[in-house]
Amino acid sequence: MCGFLLRRTRDPHLAEDLAQETFVKATRALLGWRGENAAAWLLTIARNVLIDHVRRSRRELALPDADELGVPALHVDAVDVRDALDRLPERHRRLLTLVYLEGFSLVEVAVMTGTKHATIKTAVWRARSAFAETYGGVR
């Protein structure tokens, strides 16, 4: 797996970091593993970790502070977010936690839960909608 990541990143330190993240995610997802080919399963998780890393690095552009732009800073209160999450049904709360707080991809959540990717995608969309509605009421 390290070789797989090293060939794609060409950075040994980054490859090691991504391999570690892969093993952490694999450990968390172990209950959802159906006893298939372990190497293929780990490489799939490694591939998803790599894709997530590339997406994150593309989003991390150096932008001026909100004050420099003359725009008020966005303030999100963690207590309000937690209250809104606590008011959601268990399934919505669990999905949003896995995807947004723990960083699992939709494919990984589908594997963990034994559910189709499209079903998870729809469920996360519904959970986000419910959260937006609930969060608006909390604030």
Domain containing 120 — which CATH number?
1.10.10.10
The total number of structural domains in the chain stands at 2
Of 62, 84, 105, which marks where a domain is finished? 62
CA distances (Å), 50 to each of 20, 22, 123, in order? 12, 9, 24
- Tell me: do 80 and 131 sit in the same domain: yes
The pLDDT score that the predictor gives to residue 67 is: 58
Instruction: Tell which wins on pLDDT, 25 or 68.
Output: 25
User: How confident is the model over 95-101, as a mean pLDDT?
Assistant: 85
Same domain, 33 and 93: no
pTM of the model: 0.48
Low-confidence winner among 32-36, 45-49, 66-70, 76-80 (lowest mean pLDDT)? 66-70
- CA distance linking residue 80 with residue 96, whole number of Å: 15
Does residue 84 sit in the same domain as residue 21?
A: no
Return the pLDDT at 19: 93
**pLDDT tens profile 57-70:** 766 555 555 555 55
Rg of the chain on CA atoms, in Å: 18
Name the DSSP class of 30.
Answer: G
**Residues 79, 102 share a domain:** yes
Domain holding 2, by residue range, is 1-62
- CATH number for the domain spanning 46: value is 1.10.1740.10
Q: What pLDDT does residue 55 have?
A: 80
Q: How is residue 92 written in tokens?
A: 């919505």
Answer whether residue 73 shows pLDDT above 80.
no
Average pLDDT over every residue of 98-119: 85
Same domain, 81 and 138: yes
Q: What does the pLDDT read at residue 64?
A: 54
Last residue of a domain, one of 26, 43, 62: 62
When the pLDDT of each residue in the chain is averaged and rounded to a whole number, the result is 82
85 and 25 within one domain: no
Q: What is the pLDDT of residue 118?
A: 93
- What gap in Å lies between CA 110 and CA 90, rounded to an integer? 17
* Rounded-to-integer distance, Cα 4 and Cα 50, Å: 10
Residue 36 sits in the same domain as residue 81:
no
CA angle 117, 44, 113 (to 5 degrees): 40
**What pLDDT does 78 receive?**
72
Q: Are residues 54 and 86 in the same domain?
A: no
